[in-house]
DNA sequence: CACAAGTTTCAGTCTTGACTGAAACAACCG
DNA sequence: CGGTTGTTTCAGTCAAGACTGAAACTTGTG
């Protein structure tokens, strides 16, 4: 399948962005392709469209499954696996946040807790101990916050985002017009 | 300078994490070192402590400057540049968010806008056009939201984070006890 | 200005991990 | 069961970019 100009640009850009994040180019491209195409595709179609090795596609599809970013859907009269991704950007965002949190945040929180528990912590100077504690506290707070936020309905999350920094008035105990959120 | 066990573990872990994010190992290690040490260090001290090439340290310090994560401080009676990083984790967090936003989000927003403006967009099917628009809208909303949030005082931001998903009640127009935020 | 101390640059090496192509494997069908 | 179609694995290749060490450069000092 030959991509139209805009779709092609989208896929290529997404691929480049992927490498800036933790994801490799092919994985990001496949995801972008499924997203923009909006219908289930089989591995051969993907291979042909992106012009990469068949096995590369196979590996990347597995990776995307691990990220919960694609699911395979059976198609009547076709033995091959077909894959699709959600076309709901909010759903997508939620998944990415959840996965990155568990890959990048949670392990670090573990290490920091472990550092503080270890007998060796006492030999560090007070200020350094304090900084580790603060780092842990910040990461725990962000982690808990993210977990809560991704449980919200897309529409609700959008409103919260749109509300933006205005929430600060709430924590300061002031009255906030709900209208501001819309 | 020989690192104490916990500091060493912290630096090594931070370095590994760095590679998962966009930052290379040495850059992340140097930053972790300055953070945990909590005092200005010169390039030679860093070189010796981390046991990497002098030039590698030089390059990495430049990279950290580009990220606004370190600043050089003059020390009385010492010609060499000494570098320090903030020891305030919230300040740190803010800087990382700002920089990542401008490196990873803003360019993508540009590309998406460009896609939608281009003459080629009309030849894509309606649903695909819609998805690009929605992606752009989401990224713009998140970008604007992040810009607002990093302007808050650390203490305020902490309260907002702690408030967490309870904000949803605000956007639904319900009464929220400020006590919940503390 | 000559020298010392400090810093930056850069060509080349090394490491990591993405990617390929072929072969092995699995499932299905006549 | 043999053949066909589809999927996965894996050893080897390749590319990107991190890292090194030496040389070039810059700045300050007697």
- Domains of chain B, residue spans: 5-84, 89-151, 153-182
Q: Determine whether the interchain pair A38/B127 forms a contact, defined as Cβ–Cβ distance below 8 Å.
A: yes
Please name the residues in contact with B79: beta carbons below 8 A apart, sequence gap of 6 or more. none
Predicted confidence (pLDDT) per residue in B168-180, tens digit: 777 765 544 444 3
Retrieve residue A71's tokens: 């699911």
Residues of B in contact with A163 (CB under 8 A): 167, 170-171
Does residue A79 lie within 7 Å of nucleic acid chain D, judged by its CB? yes
Predicted confidence (pLDDT) per residue in A124-141, tens digit: 999 999 999 999 999 999
Residue A177 has pLDDT above 50, yes or no: no
- Give exposure, A104-115, as e/b (b: 16+ Cβ within 10 Å): ebeebbebbeeb
Does residue A42 lie within 7 Å of nucleic acid chain D, judged by its CB? yes
Distance CA B88, CA B65 (A): 17
CA torsion sign, B136 to B168 to A102 to A31?
Answer: negative
Residues B143-152, mean pLDDT to the nearest whole number: 93
Distance CA A109, CA B104 (A): 24
Q: Determine whether the interchain pair B22/A20 forms a contact, defined as Cβ–Cβ distance below 8 Å.
A: yes
Distance CA A3, CA B128 (A): 12
For testing contact with chain B, the best of A31, A147, A165 (most B CBs within 10 A): A165
Closest nucleotide to A80's CA, by C1' atom? Answer: D6
Closest by alpha carbon to A148, among B136, B150, B180?
Answer: B180
| Strand C positions within 7 A of protein Cβ atoms | 5-10, 17-23, 28
Q: Confirm if A98 and A145 have CB atoms less than 8 A apart.
A: no
Distance CA B87, CA A147 (A): 27
Q: Give the least confident one: A33-42, A80-89, B75-84.
A: B75-84
Q: Is A77 left (phi over 0), alpha (psi -120 to 50) or beta?
A: left
Please name the residues in contact with A132: beta carbons below 8 A apart, sequence gap of 6 or more. A112, A115, A116, A121, A124, B6, B10, B36
Share of chain B above pLDDT 90, in %: 73
CA of A76 and C1' of D2: distance in angstroms?
27
Q: Determine whether the interchain pair B131/A163 forms a contact, defined as Cβ–Cβ distance below 8 Å.
A: no
Retrieve residue A66's tokens: 């691990």
Q: Confirm if B105 and B97 have CB atoms less than 8 A apart.
A: no
Per CA to C1' distance, which residue is closest to C18?
A: A24
Q: A174 versus B122: which is more confidently predicted?
A: B122
Q: Confirm if A112 and A142 have CB atoms less than 8 A apart.
A: no
CA of B81 and C1' of D21: distance in angstroms?
22
Residues B153-167, mean pLDDT to the nearest whole number: 85
CA of A80 and C1' of C26: distance in angstroms?
13
Compare all CA atoms of chain A with the CA of B173 and give the residue at the minimum distance. Answer: A178
Q: Confirm if B181 and B159 have CB atoms less than 8 A apart.
A: yes
Task: Describe the crossing of helices B126-149 and A25-37 by its angle, rounded to 10 degrees.
Answer: 120
Residues A55-65, mean pLDDT to the nearest whole number: 94
Can you spell out the DSSP letters for B34-62? HHHH-S-EEHHHHHHHHT--HHHHHHHHH
CA distance readout (Å), A111 to A36, B7, B27: 39, 12, 20
Share of chain A above pLDDT 90, in %: 73
**Which CATH number describes the domain made up of B5-84?**
1.10.10.10
Residues of B in contact with A134 (CB under 8 A): 89
Residues A77-101, mean pLDDT to the nearest whole number: 92
Compare all CA atoms of chain B with the CA of A4 and give the residue at the minimum distance. Answer: B124
Residue A116 has pLDDT above 80, yes or no: yes
């Amino acid at each position: 399948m030959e991509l139209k100009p805009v779709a092609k640009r989208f896929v290529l850009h997404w691929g480049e962005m992927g490498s800036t994040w933790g994801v490799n180019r092919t994985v990001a491209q496949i995801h972008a392709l499924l997203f923009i195409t909006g219908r289930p595709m089989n591995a051969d179609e993907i291979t042909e469209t992106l012009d990469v090795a068949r096995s590369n596609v196979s590996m990347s599809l597995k990776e995307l499954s691990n990220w919960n970013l694609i699911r395979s859907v059976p198609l009547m009269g076709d033995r091959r696996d077909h894959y699709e991704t959600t076309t709901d950007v909010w759903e997508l965002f939620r998944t990415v946040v959840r996965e990155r949190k568990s890959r990048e945040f949670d392990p670090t929180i573990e290490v920091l807790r472990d550092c503080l528990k270890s007998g060796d912590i006492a030999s560090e100077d007070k200020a350094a101990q304090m900084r580790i504690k603060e780092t842990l506290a910040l990461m725990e707070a962000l982690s808990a916050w993210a977990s809560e936020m991704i449980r919200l309905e897309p529409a609700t999350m959008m409103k919260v985002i749109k509300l933006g920094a205005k929430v600060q008035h709430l924590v300061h105990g002031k009255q906030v017009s709900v209208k501001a959120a819309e």
